[in-house]
Structure formats: C-alpha cells, structure tokens
Amino acid sequence: METHIIIIGSGLGGLTCGYIMAKNGYKVTVLEKNVQLGGCLQTFARRGVKFETGVHYIGSMEKGQLLHHFFKYLNLLPDVKLRQLNCEAYDLISIGGERFPFANGIENFTEKLAQYFPAEKDNLRRYWQAIREVVESSPLHSLRTTGEPVILNPNHVKQSYDHFLESVTGDEQLRLVLAGNLPLYAGERGKTPMYISAFINDFYNRSACRIVGGGETVAFSLVKSIRAMGGNVLPSAEVVKINCNDKQAVSVSLKNGETIDGDYFISNMHPARMVEIVESNILRKSYRDRIVHLNNTVSNFTVYIAFKKDSVPYFNSNFYHYDTPADVWRGKNYEQASYPCSFLYMHLCSSENQQFADAAVLISYMNFEDVSQWAGTKVGRRGADYENFKKETAEKLLDLLEKQIPDTQQNIEYYYTSSPLTYLDYTGTERGSMYGVLPDCNESIHSLVSQRTRIPNLFQTGQNVNSHGILGVIIGSIITCGELLGVNNIVEQIKNTD
Ligand SMILES: Cc1cc2nc3c(=O)[nH]c(=O)nc-3n(C[C@H](O)[C@H](O)[C@H](O)COP(=O)(O)OP(=O)(O)OC[C@H]3O[C@@H](n4cnc5c(N)ncnc54)[C@H](O)[C@@H]3O)c2cc1C
C-alpha cells in the first residue's frame, strides 16, 4: 500500500513538497483553505488585468545556475516563461535623490558601483568574496551532497548584515546602497543575519528576471504535475485540526467535517497557526510558547496599478526608493507623520516582449497595528473608514511615486490596494507578515523553526523553515522532504535530472 502524505497548504512550500514526495512514490494530498491555490504565488485579475501578490522577480535562472536546476527538477521549465531584467540595473536604488544601479555579475556590479564610489572597488570585491564564501559553504546552495546535515556555518548565522557591511567598508553611503534592497527580506538592523542577505544578493546578482504572467504559473505547473503523478490538490479544504494518538499524528479534520487519514503530515501553515490546531501533549507547552512568541517580519501596504493602454513604457528594473538616507534601515520603525518614506515599485510582466506596462505594484512597509482596529472584519466588508484609510494611504504613496517618476499618475486607469489584513486573510500569515518568522542573529537557535516537530510524523515547510522567497522555500522543502527521503538523495536526483 502506498504511504499517504498529507500536506496542509498549497503555498510554494506545500506544492514543492507535494511534487518531491509524489515523484518519490508517495500518495500525496495537498489541502488548501482558499479557493485559489498557491498562497503568495497567487495573482488576481480585475477588469482584465492581472496583479501579482508575491514573487515579483526571481534570480539564478540561467542554465547551470541554482534555481534553473531546481526548476528543471520540478518540471517547471516547460510552463514558466521569463523575461530577463535589465542586466545593467536589475535593481535601481534611489536614496535621497541619488540613484545607484545593481548590475548582474560580480565584476559588472563592482564596476558600475565604483563609478559612484571610485575608492571602494577593492571593498566591493571583498564584499562579494565574503558573500560567495557563504553560498559555497552551504551544500544546498552549491548542490553538494554532504556527510553531515550541516546547512549553515554558525559564523554566518551570528553576524548581522549591518555589522558585516561595517566590516567591509567605512563608506556610510556605500553601506546604505548595499542595503538598498532590504525590502526583499524586510531586513532589520542588528538582527537580520548576514547569511540571509548573502543568499539573496548572490541569487539575484547571478541573473534576475520576471515571470511572464506572474508567480501563479509556478503554482499551476506544480499542481498539474502533482495531479499527473496521481496526487490530489484540493482547494477550499481548510484543515481545522491535526488529530493525534499518544504517539503520532493520524488524521486531519477539515472545516467541512471530513476527516482524512494519513501516514505523514507536512504543515505549510505559519507555525503559530499550526500549533493551535494540534491537540496533543507530545507538543510541549514550552515549544508552543516559543513558536507563538516568535517575532515576525513586518507587513506591507500595496497599491496595484493598472495603466491606460500603451501609456507607460515597460520599466525593466525594480525601483527601491528612500526619501532620506535614514529611511534605508527604518523599516517597521517609520513615523506616522512622515509615512510613507520609502517604497518598492515594479512593473508586472504580461508578455516576453512587451513595450508598455499594463500594471505595476507599489509596495511600502506597514505594521499590523496601523490596521488592527479593523481586525476580525471580512474582506469587502471592513467599513467606510477602512476604505478611506486605504485611499489616503494609496494617494500618499502615489504622490511619492510621482515625485520620483513623473507623469505616472496621469496614466493610471485605476488601482486596487491591499493591507496587512489582506495578507492575514489570504495566507494566514501572522499579522500579515510579509516573509513570516524574522530570523534574528542574536537568537540564532531560538528564532529558527525546525522542519521537525516532536510529533515524529509531523513536519513543517515553507518560508518559516529555512528562509523565504522562491529560493529559500524550495531549499526548505528539500530539507523537509529530506527527513523522509534523505537530503543527499534529493540533491542527487536534482543533479541527475536531464
Ligand atoms: C509582497 C510580497 C512580495 C514578495 N516578492 C517576492 C519576490 O519578488 N521574489 C521571491 O522569491 N519571493 C517574494 N516574496 C516571498 C514569497 O512569496 C514567499 O516567501 C513564498 O511564496 C511563501 O511560500 P510559503 O509556502 O511559505 O507560504 P504561503 O504562500 O503563505 O502559503 C501558505 C498556504 O497555506 C494555506 N493555509 C494556511 N492555513 C491553512 C489551513 N488551516 N488549511 C489549509 N491551508 C492553509 C494558505 O492559504 C496558503 O495558501 C514576496 C512576498 C510578499 C508578501
């Protein structure tokens, strides 16, 4: 009889685990609470225009690069079309009126930034050397099999990114520029470990692209493959309880009253939500307390913009703006009086050769507290004061964008917005957090969520295990499935995929 593995949640983590386990002969059932599958990979369409909610750009997708290996293994290459970002400036960092490009390739990146910081060429090279050391020391980032299940060097876990930058250069302006893409991981001064920045910067520096049609194409492809291998992926199937006997988990109960038995269980839920639905003394109170009190990354407010037809030329870079140098590391500690003081602006890619943008996203940090008065209300029925709050916030953000990129406002056909409450409702992420649990170099053990739980057949996956983003979540999924299949075995499978 086939071994049945039940996966709770169809985010990238749940679907990647579903794919790996189905490929290795397990009977897979993925249960998703929402009507739409994919979690943060979801897009939504309004008046014929598609908007992405997460996964706006990805990296390392050239042949031979890491994500390309993973996509090949996950059979994503036939379904996922890409458009390369401007390799001379995949990210454009705007700080207090000055703009700095991030170019692909270490040498190109160094040369381009050295035009603004001529005395810093050697330091930039040292910066990249240290980053490459981190990446190469991680077996999964360099696709090496290893005798030890060591994933990270402790030294890379305990140093914060800002301290690392101080060790690399004395030029404060350059340090701010090198932190300019912090919203990609909601980095916090003195907390975000250097390795998180290293993996992400290396990932995008090698090559950077947008997914044509958005991240949902990844979700659709994985769902199609899981089903083709005999697995089930069920929308509108909210798990409300993980049932255990005195030794292990035995089944899940759904909101509709159904119970599904399984041999193994993987939760793609936020860990704090997962512990709430496990009724078992095997999960100790101390574990539950730790998980529930973990700090999470900040949430966001997003304006989804639809442009008038053929009015705005497609912008092939990601634009990170900060009003003043002090705003780069401000993150969640913004002041209401000067909000918003930073944003990330990106055009969405609907075809491989588009000349004009159909849509864009304008994202700014937002704390849950700013919308907590409407917590508990339902989507579309939160009241007029909430709608006013969103309108005012959107207008402030659009004004800020207009100052940086003039003539944008006049070309907007319409826009929609989302707040921390939207993310809370759609993905169940704690307080609408963008990237889940905040890794903290001061509490490197305490702030980590293991793929294992004390219930021997219940595992966790997704952005809270290992790291977030397309790379972090896929690597986390390999670690989770490795509990049953062996990490080295999966790495060998990836390397041997034709
Ligand atoms: C604004 C934003 C922009 C981003 N941009 C990028 C980017 O450009 N590039 C990049 O690589 N990454 C990006 N990310 C990060 C990336 O989207 C996430 O890290 C990743 O998609 C998370 O996947 P996941 O599987 O951990 O969780 P999720 O996508 O959150 O999936 C969890 C799933 O579990 C389901 N679920 C929860 N509870 C239950 C239950 N009880 N029963 C059944 N199902 C349940 C949820 O509905 C959801 O579908 C971005 C994220 C955000 C928020």
Which class would CATH give 4-38+64-74+215-293+443-495? alpha beta
| Dist CA 467 CA 449 (whole Å) | 10
pLDDT tens column, 50-92: 888 888 999 999 999 999 999 999 999 999 999 999 999 999 9
Contact 34 CB / ligand 1 (< 6 Å): yes
| Dist CA 468 CA 9 (whole Å) | 15
Token representation of residue 372 = 């907590």
CATH fold of the domain at 105-206: Guanine Nucleotide Dissociation Inhibitor; domain 1 (1.10.405)
Which of the pair, 46 or 495, is modelled with greater confidence? 495
What backbone torsions phi and psi does residue 356 show, to the nearest 5 degrees? -120, 150
Q: Does residue 406 register a pLDDT over 80? A: yes
pLDDT score of 353: 87
User: How many angstroms is it from 301 CA to the middle of ligand 1?
Assistant: 16
Contact 301 CB / ligand 1 (< 6 Å): no
pLDDT score of 148: 61
Atom 36 of ligand 1 has which residue's CA nearest to it?
9
Residue 444 pLDDT class (50, 70, 90 cuts): confident
Per DSSP, the three-state class of 317 is coil
Place of tokens 């979690």: 39
Tell which one of 17, 40, 202 to mutate to probe ligand 1, the residue whose CB is within 8 A of the most ligand atoms.
40
Average pLDDT over residues 297-311: 96
Residue 155 pLDDT class (50, 70, 90 cuts): confident
On the question of a common fold for 4-38+64-74+215-293+443-495 and 105-206, the answer reads no
Average pLDDT over residues 121-128: 98
Average pLDDT over residues 215-239: 97
Tell me the HSE value of 492 on the side-chain side, using a 13 A CA sphere.
9
The model carries a pTM of 0.97
Residue 380 pLDDT class (50, 70, 90 cuts): confident
Token representation of residue 73 = 């293994």
Cα angle for residues 362, 105, 81 (degrees, 5° grid): 55
Q: What residue spans define the domains of the chain?
A: 4-38+64-74+215-293+443-495, 105-206
| Dist CA 315 CA 430 (whole Å) | 33
pLDDT above 70: percentage of residues in the chain: 99
Contact 408 CB / ligand 1 (< 6 Å): no
User: How many angstroms is it from 233 CA to the middle of ligand 1?
Assistant: 16
Tell me the sheet residues that pair with 305.
Answer: 360, 415
Average pLDDT over residues 485-490: 95
Per DSSP, the three-state class of 498 is coil
Atom 50 of ligand 1 has which residue's CA nearest to it?
54
Contact 476 CB / ligand 1 (< 6 Å): no
Token representation of residue 458 = 């219940």
Tell which one of 55, 199, 209 to mutate to probe ligand 1, the residue whose CB is within 8 A of the most ligand atoms.
55
Q: Does residue 150 register a pLDDT over 70? A: no
Token representation of residue 280 = 């078992």
pLDDT score of 46: 87
Average pLDDT over residues 417-424: 94
Contact 40 CB / ligand 1 (< 6 Å): yes
Q: Which numbered atom of ligand 1 lies nearest the CA of 346?
A: 8
pLDDT tens column, 241-294: 999 999 999 999 999 999 999 999 999 999 999 999 998 999 999 999 999 999
pLDDT score of 53: 86
User: How many angstroms is it from 125 CA to the middle of ligand 1?
Assistant: 34
CA end-to-end distance (rounded Å), the chain: 30
| Dist CA 472 CA 470 (whole Å) | 6
pLDDT score of 263: 98
| Dist CA 443 CA 45 (whole Å) | 41
For residues 41 and 54, the answer to whether their CB atoms sit within 8 Å is yes
Q: Which numbered atom of ligand 1 lies nearest the CA of 14?
A: 25
pLDDT score of 31: 98
Average pLDDT score, the chain = 95
- Contacts of 247-256 with C-beta under 8 Å, sequence gap 24+, read 247/282, 247/456, 248/282, 248/455, 248/456, 248/457, 248/458, 249/278, 249/280, 249/455, 249/457, 249/458, 252/6, 252/8, 252/31, 254/31, 255/33
What backbone torsions phi and psi does residue 80 show, to the nearest 5 degrees? -105, 115
Q: Does residue 45 register a pLDDT over 90? A: no
Q: Does residue 132 register a pLDDT over 90? A: yes
pLDDT tens column, 191-218: 999 999 999 999 999 999 999 999 999 9
Q: Which numbered atom of ligand 1 lies nearest the CA of 302?
A: 1
Average pLDDT over residues 2-19: 97
Q: Does residue 149 register a pLDDT over 70? A: no
Token representation of residue 97 = 């009126």
Q: Does residue 457 register a pLDDT over 60? A: yes
Q: Which numbered atom of ligand 1 lies nearest the CA of 361?
A: 1
pLDDT score of 337: 92
Contact 239 CB / ligand 1 (< 6 Å): yes
pLDDT score of 153: 73
Alpha-carbon Rg for the chain, nearest whole angstrom, is 22
pLDDT tens column, 322-360: 999 999 999 999 999 999 999 999 999 998 889 999 999
Residue type, 115: Q
**How many other CB atoms are there within 10 angstroms of residue 86's CB atom?**
17
